[in-house]
Amino acid sequence: AYECQRWGFDEVNLNCGCPSKKVSKRCFGARLMLQPDLVRQITHAMRRRVSIPVTVKCRLGADDRDSYPELQEFITTVKASGVTHFLIHARKCLLSGLSTTQNRSIPPIKYDWVYNLCNDYPELDFSLNGHVQTLAEARTHLNYHLQDERRTSVLVGNGSSPASIGGEKCNIAPPPRKGLKGVMLGRAAFTTPFILADADRQIFGQRKNPIDTKPQLIEQYLRYCDRVTESEGSSKKLALALVKPLTNLFHGEVGIKHYKACLLHEEIIRKKNFDIRDVLTMSMKHLSNVDRSAFGLDGR
């Protein structure tokens, strides 16, 4: 926590939600939900070392500790350390029997539990995570505490009937008196990153987004890559790190598999080409429906 603060981060988050076997057998991640008092001790020690906020990300439960009263016990115990913000993945997890991938989809989603926490702990802040696929869904969750006529809902259902969110069935609780502090996009932010280009306008109420098109984004990102490479020196490790955010930028385009293979393997690993601009130029040749001239890369 101290090192995070020293490097200038705004907050430090203790992850009590990762269900992977590698993490679980070392007694961190979601296994910590089985030991609420240990989490309280850890976060208390973290808060004593730093002045930035310490937050906790967790599931609704783990293994057979999966009732709402047990979730309340976890929140009540941990908040005694001074933690005031919990980021909740709205599913339980099974530490044995399900893989990490299965734990992202098989345990049922229960958004209503997170809404209920907002009511039960008005002095705390809660952010919701779990199968939120679009900005419209994020906005619906953020506005759920408002009156019906003030929110545009992508949900189907009422306080007692199941609703469908991105194909997920869930129960929707009556609107809480206090809204969520935030909504976390996980896999969607990685697999379809350009949906975030409209976040300033859709989520934060700005009149205009700072970047509206992929060519604008590429232009700015390549300038960033140039600065980092000049500072750190070119290498395979750095080149792979710099191109990774570009892997799903063209999600859904024809030729995306060949684009990714070229971007990550063909150019950098096989050809040892560490020039990010050139790597991207060569990789985009596989995207037959994308006009490379709009990106200023057609002449390379």
Helix orientation angle between 36-49 and 68-79, rounded to the nearest 10 degrees: 30
Helix (H) or strand (E) holding 284: helix 276-284
Give the residues across from 89 on adjacent strands: 129
For residue 241, give every residue at least 6 positions away whose Cβ sits within 8 Å of its Cβ, in sequence order, or none. Answer: none
Q: Which of 18, 58, 170, 262 is catalytic?
A: 18
Could you tell me the sign of the dihedral formed by the alpha carbons of 221, 224, 228, 230, in that order?
positive
Tell which residue, 136, 147, 200, has the closest CA to residue 175: 147
> Residues for the chain: how many in total?
300
Q: Decide: 16 and 39 in contact? Cβ < 8 Å.
A: yes
18 is catalytic: yes
Helix (H, G, I), strand (E, B) or coil at 105: coil
Here the tokens at position 182 are 């935030």
- Phi and psi angles of residue 148, each rounded to the nearest 5 degrees, phi first: -50, -40
Angle at 103 between CA 263 and CA 264, to 5 degrees: 5
Region of residue 84 (left: phi > 0; alpha: psi -120 to 50; beta: else)? alpha
CA 249 – CA 190 distance, rounded (Å): 9
Catalytic residues: 18
